[in-house]
Amino acid sequence: MSTTASTTSARTPTTGAAHRYGDPSTRWALLGAETMLSREPRINTRQRWEYEDGLVLNGVYGVYRDTGDVRFLDYVRTNIDEFVQPDGTIRHYAYDEFNLDHVNNGKAILDLLEETGDERYRAAADTLFDQLQHQPRTSEGSFWHKRIYPDQVWLDGLYMGSVFYARYCALVGRSDLVDDVVRQFTNAYDLTLDPATGLCRHAYDATRSMYWADAETGLSPHVWLRALGWFAMAMVDVQAYLPQDHPGRAQIRTNLGALLTALQRYADPATNLWFQIPDQAGRPMNYLESSGSLMVLSAIATSLRLGYLAGPGWDEALERGWTHAREQFLSITAEGWVNVHKMCQVAGLGGATRRDGSYAYYMSEPIVTNDHKGYGPFLLLATEMERRR
């Protein structure tokens, strides 16, 4: 494994004095990736196979692709190699949980496979693909989010499992599965759409039996910003792995445009950022949330670069959101490390604590700093913004 940077000019200063708060000239993606190398050389000291780590590794890999600095590629490889063994087995991964979250790190595995050709990464990717081939499904054909959440579709799961599904199929030539990949996305949109707002609810219960589910629609009570962010990023990313002429690709792009347009209607007018519950901006305790706002802005930025969004106002909305995101969510420590603040630590439905999807529930989850579910989207968005320079 290489340990020498391809250039020294890519390195950024390590003192906080070198950067001003919210400074638009700072290379935020590069500084954020440098921060990870210094502050978290091991991305998961608990030895747990966790989806949010893959999100950060994807962000660091993007910085490697843009800078050519192999330290960032080495960081991805070192941290994935904590889990992927010489025979391709994945330590601390539980196949039989049928948990879509466990598949997300497969994107970093595919990055390494394409960079190195190492067959152990192919074996690890094969295992994750095999999970999806046996993943339980709802009557509509959608993957269950987890085995412990039967007949439930969560928007988070499209980012976790179905983008990898599409990319793997494209890599190995499984064109017979393209329709199924598309089905995961179009089903999720159709099943969770709230026509009154144009936004998608957090989750859907096909049985209508969960205590959080509407008895008629099966929908959870609220939209949740980060779920919308996961879904928007997933709809952007998947298009790279679908045939250009497949009608499902056009439908996914149409759905993406409709969702982003609806989200823009609910953006905070002062900042072009979004609240934890986007369509409840005026309610007490609701707050501008970083992880979901960064995800939505990242989806907009990538869509603009790839030509997925058209019409006036998008560039201005993106630039204004990024300006306020730097001011609202980012700080730099005395060491010169980036902190990302104001993120919901976690939110879900059901489980041992009977998470009921109510407004009070979403307001009750801790607000934290530097959780990987927010740090990864920061890296992804910052990388896109630097590409616009």
Could you tell me the pLDDT band of residue 19, with boundaries at 50, 70 and 90? Answer: low
Average pLDDT over the chain, rounded to whole? Answer: 95
**Is the per-residue pLDDT at 371 higher than 90?**
yes
The model carries a pTM of: 0.95
In sequence order, what DSSP letters do the residues of 316-335 get, joined into one string?
Answer: HHHHHHHHHHHHHHEEE-TT
Paired tokens of 185: 């996305």
Structural domains present in the chain: 16-387 (1.50.10.10)
pLDDT at site 74: 98
Selection from 44, 136, 155 nearest residue 98 by Cα: 136
pLDDT at site 389: 86
Question: What is the tens place of the pLDDT at every residue in 125-178?
Answer: 999 999 999 999 999 999 999 999 999 999 999 999 999 999 999 999 999 999
- Separation CA 70–CA 370 (nearest Å): 24
141 backbone φψ class: left, alpha, beta (φ>0; ψ -120 to 50)? left
Percent of the residues in the chain that have a pLDDT greater than 90, as a whole number: 93
3-state SS, residue 52? helix
- Separation CA 64–CA 71 (nearest Å): 8
pLDDT at site 18: 54
Q: Please list the residues that pair with 343 across neighbouring strands.
A: 368
Q: Report the catalytic residues.
A: 156
Selection from 56, 157, 155 nearest residue 108 by Cα: 56
Kind and range of the H or E element at 379? helix 372-387
Q: Please list the residues that pair with 54 across neighbouring strands.
A: none
- Separation CA 140–CA 133 (nearest Å): 16
3-state SS, residue 2? coil
Selection from 98, 104, 215 nearest residue 150 by Cα: 98
pLDDT at site 311: 86
Alpha carbon of residue 213 to chain centroid: 25
